[in-house]
Copies of this chain bind each other. A is one copy, B any other.
Amino acid sequence: MDTTIWRHPKSIATVSLSGTLPEKLEAAAAAGFDGVEIFENDLLNFDGSPADVRRIAADLGLAIMLYQPFRDFEAMPDAIRERNMARAERKFDVMEELGARMVLVCSNVQEIAIDDPARAAADLRAMAEAAAKRGLSVAYEALAWGRHTRRWRQAWEIVRQADHPALGLVLDSFHTLALGDTLEGIGEVPAEKIFFMQLADAPRMSMDVLSWSRHYRNFPGQGDLAVTEFARAAMGAGYRGPLSLEIFNDEFRAAPARLTALDGLRSLIWLESEAGGPPLPAPPRFGGVDFLEFAVDYVTGRELGARLRSLGFGHAGRHRSKAVELYRQGGVNIILNAEQDSAAAEHFQLHGPSVCALGLKVDDAQRAVTRARALLCKEWRERIGPHERSIPALRAPDGMLFYLIDEQGSDRSIYESDFVLEPGGADSAGAGLMAIDHIAQALPPHRLDSFVLFYKTVFGLQAQALHEIADPYGLVKSRAMVSAEQSLRIPLNVSESSRTATGRFITAYAGSGIHHIAFRTPDLCATLDQAVPAEAAMLHVPDNYYDDVGARLGLDDAALEHLRQHQLLYDRDAGGEFLHAYTEPFHDRFFFELVQRDGYLGFGAANASLRMAAQALASRNRQARPA
């Protein structure tokens, strides 16, 4: 690695984290941040002195990189100007006790502020002079909704004009990008005059910039703003100071601080690399899903085995040393793990029968692991028997395991290494299922951004547009993460309502997990006609659906009758056509989908609402059924 590339200190503003000030500091330190910005209200609400805060931060190994914000200072009428200088001196007292060397002054938002950059410069110069006497400095930032100073260039002109060594500029990605402001010229600001850089992303939203800023910011990589380009511009100017996160987000305020802090540092490490800093190994190239592993016990293992058989899977082998069975069809491997005292057993205990691991084919497992490690991922090694292969694995943010199967690795497959394969059933053609098309994961609503960041940074997946789907009992939001080669597709589903299909899963399953597994077949009618017996229990499609899809997409009567007879759902987009059908859920934990994808790009979102209504009905009927 090129050691001449500067590694910036990483910092986070305390407003970005939930909790009391000591909890915020602890979480920042636990994640591995170098320092923090102290948000003034966190100090005000803290029942201890600034010196206490200084001690706690020092004990945790955190530098206090900034005290913020100081508001409505510059370019005020004379009467207030004097009062503001007195106010600044009081805050300098606090900063000295706190051990903060720099204060952030954000541009004045008051109506009475005077529209005169020279006056603003003179005021800030006076403040910088007073700060310098105490060895402190002042960093000036343009708020996107400032009264007169809104753009970074205006702030820079004022700083330049003030011309004081203790006065510099704050660059803030949100304020700049939210206004669609240009980054041109940032490279020409002298590096020593950029005192601080605050980084925040946000989803693109059409609302007033103040509300957007106060509630919906998120970490770089979680939103839609060009934060990488912004950071590259400042780093290109020679900025060597902290990369610091300042995130106002309603969900972050309520989420466990340690989770948020870990995501924050992951986003900064990724951003620094993307923006030209110390490089990370390239993300893996995926060759698809190699296997799905279900945690089961003896009873649910037999049940799930029967369900798989009804979908055309064959029993293909048994693990050499563990209570683990292998089912196979086409290119799909499914492992049922009932081994006691294993990660799967722990998973089963917490979540019941469910996917506990995925095997992903990658071009270079070692490179993928090195990248993941640099991005603060937890690794995992299962105990193995003699002659079994050790496969590197990563833990997702919810503890699920991703095994990385090196396509260029051993010449024996893991199945040959670890399993005693049945001579005949090794590769059943079964019902024509060829591959795993996509696997959908249900998440608690506030965890969506966290998983988007994980898949984007660690695996290099791209986030697709958010879909909103009406379940009978509330909205479900769905965002698919897809690899460049389209070989790995993971829709992520969240719902604020606990009564939706997604909400019920999260409650029953006690957390996030795979609740929807779609298998691909080249001919769905053939699959359903010839190979899938009745016990696979396909979800019933109401007749009204066919009336509507016919009128809506202009299908003729024969095509409609064909769909109706096979109980298929239909959609099409710019890429092509899509046929699909759902199974009834297995123990309310997950369901299977069978899809025929003829160039189609999406995931059948147009029919998801219908599926949710049918699932709600099926779930109610199961509950009403006498035991």
A91 at interface (Cβ–Cβ under 8 A)? yes
Please tell me which stretch of A46-54, A183-191, A408-416, A478-486 contacts chain B, meaning at least 4 of its Cβ atoms lie within 8 angstroms of it.
A46-54
Copies of this chain in its oligomeric complex? 2
Question: Are B206 and A613 within 8 A (Cβ)?
Answer: no
Contact A548 B40 (CB under 8 A): yes
**Which residues of chain B are within 8 angstroms of A613 by Cβ–Cβ distance?**
20, 45-47
Judge whether A550 is part of the interface by a CB distance below 8 angstroms: yes
Question: Which residues of B sit under 8 angstroms from A50, Cβ to Cβ?
Answer: 544
By the criterion CB–CB under 8 Å, are A544 and B472 in contact? no
| Interface set, chain A 65-118, CB cutoff 8 A to B | 83, 86-87, 90-91, 94
Q: Mark A588-621, 1 if CB is under 8 A from B, else 0.
A: 0000000000000000000001100110110000
Q: How many Å lie between the Cα of A208 and that of B212 in the bound state?
A: 13
Residues on B with C-beta less than 8 A from A94 are 544, 547
Residue of B at shortest CB range from A20? B472
A543 adjacent to chain B (CB < 8 Å): yes
Task: Find the B residue at minimum CB distance from A544.
Answer: B44
Residues on B with C-beta less than 8 A from A86 are: 551
- Interface contact B47-A614, CB-CB below 8 Å: yes
- Interface flags for A161-175 (1: CB within 8 Å of B; 0: not) read 000000000000000
Do A473 and B44 touch across chains, with their CB atoms under 8 A apart?
no
The closest CB in chain B to the CB of A498 belongs to: B254
Cβ–Cβ < 8 Å partners of A90 in chain B: 547, 550-551
Q: Across the two chains, which residue of chain B brings its CB closest to A248?
A: B470
CB contacts (< 8 Å) of A540 on chain B: these are 47
What is the bound-complex CA distance between A471 and B540, given in angstroms? 47
Is A45's CB under 8 angstroms from B542's CB? yes
The answer, yes or no, to whether A499 is at the interface (CB within 8 Å) is: yes
- Contact flag A46-B474 (CB < 8 Å), given A254-B496, A499-B254: no
Contacts A206-B211, A250-B496 supplied; 11 other A-B pairs, CB < 8 Å: A20-B617, A43-B544, A45-B472, A45-B542, A45-B609, A48-B542, A90-B550, A250-B474, A253-B470, A253-B471, A254-B475
| Chain A residues near B (Cβ < 8 Å) | 18-20, 23, 40-41, 43-50, 83, 86-87, 90-91, 94, 205-208, 211, 250, 253-254, 470-475, 496-497, 499-500, 540, 542-545, 547-548, 550-552, 554, 609-610, 613-614, 616-617
14 A/B residue pairs, CB under 8 Å, sorted by A: A18-B473, A45-B609, A46-B542, A46-B544, A47-B613, A47-B614, A48-B542, A83-B554, A87-B551, A87-B554, A207-B207, A253-B470, A253-B497, A254-B500
